[in-house]
Amino acid sequence: MNFEFSEEQQMLRDQARNYLTQHCPTTLVRRVLNNRETHDADLYKGIAEMGWTATTIPEEYGGLGMSHLELVVIAEELGRACAPVPFSSTVYLAAEAIMALGTEAQKQTWLPKLADGSAIGCFALGEAGGAVTPDQISTSMADGVINGTKVPVADGGIADVAIVVCKSDGGDGATLALVDLSQDAVAKDNVQMIDFSRGHAELTFNGACAEVLGEEGAGWAAVESLMNSAAILFAWEQIGLADKALEQAREYALGRFAFGRSIASYQAIKHKLAKMYVKNTLARSNAYYGAWALNAGASDLAVAAATSRVAAIQASLFSAEENIQTHGGMGFTWEFDCQFYYRRAKLLSLAVGSEKQWQGRLVDGLAASA
């Protein structure tokens, strides 16, 4: 048994961390957030040049053909850096969907562009508040034409291609559509989220051209499967973020003195930091298993994904919240970086289903196998 990343994967991590330290400092995150930009295009270009967007895409489609173990290493570093790029939408969702379900032609059309960063992808699921179920979807596709509105769509304003979940009268109630967003019949309207550094949009399809992705009426099963892999990949971003927040809190506490000694020597603070460490460690270990299960296509992938996601949500929110608290008043200012992790942690906790949804999926999975 070996439950570690390989030396090559460790090297990839070092390389990714170095790259992002240099090219994605918090000043860059701050600029994007201040200006409410949709993303940093140069950074994304650089990331694509590093080959990260190509990681799991097969070589025949311009990718590197590596495994998800390499991808989670990169995900963690992007999370640490709070990188303002459309990586998750493009790689965890759009590329994964096309790889899993696309026809040869669809793969040929899109994967090389997603791999080299020349195209951005997105995934359009929700239409209103609350958990999405197939019968709540009103966006529909017929005869290659799609109509409806999706909101909020992460990176929808800058994406070139969207995977859109449409209702289906037959099958499991849903069909996936592949939509080229460069059409006039697609309207994009920016939507501001709690995290100003990640662009989201409302996408309206007014009779736009669309292709079926995968099987008609088998879209909901595809969504659930896609959510499992996305849950694990997002979990690694959340863990990177959580660890960074812990490090930031630790560093501040060590340097801040009150009543003649470092606040890090007070149990109220040191036990808080230890609690962050415990939650982060449990989340990381669960995500290790998630990564392995995703890579190996394990039979308990659904449980592993849910466990990874629930743990990552809890750890990242706690660390981001208590990082501010550890900083005291300064942590509550615009000027300090604590806000990046606070905003991003909450955004990510809602990105592919809330804690409660995944708690349900987790126990349903355990109950079915027990």
Partner 1 sequence: MDFNDTPEQAAFRASAADWLAANVPTKEETEGLNRLQVAKLWQKRKYDAGWACIGWDPAYGGRGASAIEQVIWKQEEAKYDVPAGFFVIGQGMMAPTLMAYAQPQHLERYLPKLASGEEIWCQLFSEPAGGSDLAALRTKAEKDGDEWVINGQKIWTSGAHYSDFGCVVVRTDPTVPKHKGLSYFFIDMKSPGIEIKPIKQLTGESDFNEVYFTDVRVPDSQRLGEVGQGWQVSLTTLMNERAAIGAGSSGVNVNLAIQLAKEVMIDGKPAIEDSAVKARLANFYVEEAGLKFTSYRTLSALSRGDIPGPENSIGKLVGAPKMQQLASFCMDLLETSGAIWDTSRSKLADNIIGSYMGAPGLRIAGGTDEIMTNIIAERVLGLPQEPRMDKGIPFMDVPTG
Contacts with a copy of itself by CB under 8 A lie at 266-268, 271
Does the footprint of partner 1 cover residue 257 (CB under 8 A)? Answer: yes
Please identify, using beta-carbon distances, which residue of 77 and 322 lies nearer to partner 1.
322
Decide if residue 266 touches partner 1 (CB under 8 A).
Answer: yes
Q: Is 135 in the site for partner 1 (CB under 8 A)?
A: yes
Alpha-carbon torsion, ordered 287, 288, 291, 297, to 10 deg: -110
Could you tell me the smallest distance in angstroms from the CB atom of residue 201 to partner 1? 11
| Least distance between partner 1 and beta carbon 182 (Å) | 25
Give the one entry of a copy of itself, partner 1, none that residue 351 binds, where binding means its C-beta sits below a cut-off of 5 to 8 angstroms depending on kind: partner 1
Question: Measured at the alpha carbon of residue 365, what is the angle toward residues 359 and 368, in degrees to the nearest 5?
Answer: 140
State in angstroms the smallest separation of the CB of 267 from a copy of itself.
Answer: 4
The reply on whether position 358 binds partner 1 by CB under 8 A is yes
What is the 8-class DSSP label of residue 248?
Answer: H
Q: Kind of pairing, strands 161-167 and 121-124? A: parallel
205-223 burial, b at 16+ Cβ within 10 Å, e below that, comes to beebebbbbbebbbbbebb
170 sits near partner 1 (criterion: CB under 8 A): no
Q: Is residue 191 a contact point for partner 1 (CB under 8 A)? A: yes
Point out which span in 81-89, 104-112, 206-214, 343-351 binds partner 1 (CB under 8 A): 343-351
Q: Which is nearer to a copy of itself, 2 or 267 (CB)?
A: 267
Q: Does 349 bind partner 1 (CB under 8 A)?
A: yes
Burial class (CB in 10 A: 0-12, 13-18, 19+), 266: middle
Q: Segment near partner 1 (CB under 8 A), from 12-20, 41-49, 77-85, 271-279?
A: 271-279
Can you tell me the distance from the alpha carbon of 79 to that of 315, in angstroms, rounded to the nearest whole number?
13
Q: Which does 274 bind (CB under 5 to 8 A by kind): partner 1, a copy of itself, none?
A: partner 1
Contact window for partner 1 (CB under 8 A) among 95-103, 171-179, 213-221, 337-345: 337-345
Smallest distance, a copy of itself to C-beta of residue 271, A: 6
- Conformational region of residue 260, where left means phi above 0, alpha means psi within -120 to 50, and beta covers everything else: left
CB 236 within 8 A of CB 315: no
CA–CA–CA angle 345, 26, 5 (5° rounding): 65
